[in-house]
Structure 1
Amino acid sequence: MEWQATPYTLPLALAVVIGTVGAAISWRQREGRLELWAMGVQLSLALWSLFTLLTVSAVSLFWKRFWFALFLPTIPMLVVTTGLFTLNFVGRRDWLTRPRMVTILAFPVVTLALTLTDGIHGLFLTEVAVDRSGAFDELTYEFGIGMYVMGAISYGVAIGYNTMLARRVLRSRNVYRKMSAVVSLSTLAIGVVTVLSFTGLSPFPHFMLVPLIYLGIGVVLLLATGSVTFVRALPVDRLFAVVGSRFEDDVPLARDFVVEAVDNGIMVLDEEGRIVDVNSTAKRMLGLDRPIGDPLTTVVRPEWVLECDEIGPVLDGDEPVHELDDEVWVETPNGERCYQVTISALSDDEAAARAHVILLHDITDRKRREEQLEKQKETLRARKQQLEHQNERLDQFAGIVSHDLRNPLNVTSGYLELIDARIEDDTAAVDESELDEMKQAAERMEAIIEDALTLAREGKAVTETKAVGLAETARSAWETVATTDATLTVETDAVIEADRGRVRTIFENLFRNSVEHGRADVSVTVGDLDDATGFFVADDGPGIPDEQKEAVLDHGFTTSEDGTGFGLAIVSDAASAHGWDVTVTDSETGGARFEFTGVDRTDDDFRTADVRDGSPGPSPHAEVDNRPVDED
């Protein structure tokens, strides 16, 4: 095969390189069908330039006609790929049904079959020859009916996609308007120069004008594809400001002003979930810089989201963008903010929606006011409960004064009257037993008053807590109780969040109850519950009858004539003040067992330490024996 050098060799070869590079870049950046068809456009222009180069470089008629026959199908190929790219670019991919795709793709395939057999039927070229009179050999021909049919179909399709691109330019904002303008002007320029080639007005042979202007258009497309900064620098808005002023239409300007000035953040997503438009409010709310063109899942990082519900799977990419309404706490450069996020489809039919709009409304102040109001309500409820509790204590105290204290007072008053009568009668002597009765009555009144004060004190709600070691507190309480031959076994190293004084009161009253109602050598055990949500105090005494287990915690309940009936009631109130529940049951040895649940336990770091002074405590499983040394 003989070749010739022409003035068009270098420009055409450069156009081939630009088209090939553009196709490779589109392929590497592919995320969906849009980039795939963009690659098809660049590849079509590269093949257009290549076959034109081979046509003008060949010398023989056969090879010139062969390469030109391969060139002709690149015209419908460029039209088809540009049309498919446009449908994806403007969000009309739903129009591409399978029958339509087959019809569209058949256009360049049928053209290729006809051009390769054109020597037989002559539908595309007639009077084909080689002109060797000039500086280089040039293929000459006349267009047949097939060329005009192909041209008519191609221009019809081109008018359609150029119209869609123009509408996209007018309806877009920000960088998407500039990108749309670049694509629209490029396709329009290619369409115009092909008209010159079809009509014979082009100064260059064949359809060479397209590769030549592609040297400039291709570079612009490469820069626009690889750099958003380049697209932003294009003076498209300035051009629209000049052209748009002639139409006296303020609607787009007013729309842009409203979108930018509104307090709500606005983001528009295409069907691929990429951000195609965003106002300055949304950028400020989310701390974004240049999110246009990026997927929502990469712009809003999951680690920014502190709390959400429905939108979580969308941001993670597990679900496609769909209509929803959610409240989201996010970490922003301005601190933690709460946004009301509403996603709506830009269509009456969610399934057919090609785009979605996201509205962001900052409700942080409202949520914080709601939280403050809820805290105030909780405080009021707590105060109300405390007042009700105090009223109950007043009623109980009144009952104590009117009932429990009246009996010992009556005893004392009666004996005092007898003593007074005997003092008036010098012959009468004071019975020592009567003085003992008065002393016991006074001691009982003192015990009742002390228990009543303790009951009132322990029943108040716990407002301040700290880490309390159960083992250390139990041993400390055991030392204050007259336990004689009784023994204490501690089987816990738990540290709980509680009021130390009230926990000690609980242990003291339970230990005293075990000693007073059990044997002299009763054994008491303090340990953890199996589910580790609380603790228990158990003994091996006679236990509590089933019919009395619910009543033993009531105020005033006692089985002893000299008991006040407040010991276990104090235990119940101290536990309730912490929010704990107390259950009375049987121990493994048949004695009494008191279980405390709902107890808050602190970290393991606090365990086995004396929380009071910070020094290590004794072994949590050690036994405490209060028997005198000489009895061992």
Structure 2
Amino acid sequence: MAWQYTTQLVPYIGVLLLAMVVSAALAIYTVVVRSDAMDDPSVSAFVGLNAGCAIWSGAYALQILSVDLPAKRFWLSIAFVASILVVVSLFAFAVAYSDHERWLTRRTLLAVTVVPVAGFVLHATQYRNLYERPLDTTVVDGIVVLDRTLGLAATVTLLFMYGLVVVAAGFLLKTVYESHRVYRLQSVAVLIAILVPFVPNIVWALDLGPMGNLDLTPVAFTVSGIVFAVAIYRHHLLDIAPVARTAIVEDMRDGFLVIDDTDRIRDANAAVRGMRGTDSFVGRDVTAIFPDIAPIVRDGASTHQTEIIVDGDDGRRFFDVQVQQLSSADEIRLLLLRDVTEQHAVEQRYQSFIENASDLITMVDEDGIIRYQSPSCTTVLGFTPSELEGRSAFELVHPDDRAALLEQFRSGLDAEIAVDRAEYRLRTADGEWRDVETIGSNLLEDPFVEGVVLNTRDITDRKQREREIRRSNEQLERFADVVSHDLRNPLNVAQGYLEAASDDVDCAYHEDIELAHGRMAAIIEDMLRLAREGQPIDDTELVDLPRVVDRAWANVDTDGATRSVASDRSIVADEDRLVRLLENLFRNAVEHGSTSPRSQTPEDAVEHGDETVHVRVGTTPNGFFVEDDGPGIPADERKRVLEYGETSSPSGTGFGLAIVDEIAEGHGWTIRITESADGGARFEFDTAGTSRPPTATRDPTAVDDA
């Protein structure tokens, strides 16, 4: 095989060989460095593109250097195959690079390959000279070159391949328009790299090339290779693929930063730019913009997550930072800044609640070791949190309470959520004992807690009051015993002597003495009731209101008074105490009865006289009422009538309504004294929380006179 060497060819051949070396180096570099990304369509297409450029440049150089026609035909065919590889790879690279790789199906690749392959077949077989007229050689300026005349098939093939280049350029122009900063620079670089060879190839196709129409397209590959190399080195072309960012990234609420191995910002989305109110981010050191990020990006970890604080125009914001490596060489990193200000505010709020709560908030592990202790322990117990953390929660428990509490704690570990309430004593730093109440929640399975949370409240004052109440009740019981025994016995003796004296001595004062004895007996009886009726009532039931009214009315000397019940709805109460409450209200109504028979019929007035009173009992939406048509209670006296000893009747003890108040308080009811529709007294009892929905309701206007 003969070769030609001329001074005219040496520079041209040198450039072709340089283009071959540059393109081959880019292909090899990509295969070696980005071997983990060869499945990425854009990376594999980039390799095919540069491999085709290298083969095309080398084969065309050998075709120019050869002299024999068969050798020139052979290397021309190799260059033809390489050109097909270049164009198809260029199309695939542009489509994948612009984030449309879903279009790169087998059908698409077959469609873009079939025409160039058909043209090559026609060229290789010289079938009916459809592609070109028979090749021959000619000498131009002392250089042996091919004499080619292209046919219709060649024109179709070239136009089709040019069309693929134009489509690829369109994808890249779209990427340039949609990309941002560093990605735009990448896109422009790629666009330049593919358009530079396009121009000389058109010159060759139009038969306008120098020295017998030499093809300068492979020469232009040198420029393309250099541009690609710069894009890879300066703009990390192969590190972030595809580079076309969608509107989602730009408009996403979270911050988006790309930094290189020198910690310089390569890109930032609108969310990050809005944090500092500037667009001049690219190229600057990320630690100069966000100083708190320095420990994160320089710790050498492939992934990291932490929190930073950013003071911006809209105040202080908290961001959770995640770092991800984007290249196999760990040169490009993606920083995601998620705004957690609201979450942080909630956490701070709850932390503030815990740290400023008067209750003790303690977290212990399954062995009872304190892992967290709220600052309130200093106020309640006199210890600092650090003095208690790491110690057993049972160390400070009173020895008499420790065993039972420890057993209850161990039983609570088997519960799904709650641990039973417990009352016990805790030792303070001063050695005193405080009464406390604890409610625990078993959160050992909660990955954010992994412990048992104990809420402990100081109930020392409450326990002291309970002890004082017990002592008072005990004293009251003893007082009741004294009244019942030590006062009744002498009174009974005095009553016996009075009866004996009445038989033997006729005295005008005997009746007054007997009235005094009766009043003393009534006072003693009311005092005993008062001592026993004020206790809390736990045993209640659904009581039929008409029935208890009948019971109470039968126990009172009504002196001709009448009653009616306006409802048969039941009341939740202790029946015996409700009877005594009604007895006292009925007795009060009779004793203070009106002289005006406003509610009586004429027949009642004749039968009972003007001194009778009518009492009405009924229900309200929140309880029940008792009212009469007597003179009523003046507004300025309604608060005092429930006090001990308050009475306007010369025969009253002043304990009746006080007993009513005690029974109501024992039930947890409230009393409201108002005026009835007839001008008498009306007692309303609010039993909300104890009464049940009515099972049957009568007409509230109905009146049943006894």
Report 1 or 2 for greater relative contact order, CA contacts < 8 Å, sequence distance ≥ 6.
1
TM-score, with structure 1 as normaliser: 0.47
TM-score, with structure 2 as normaliser: 0.43
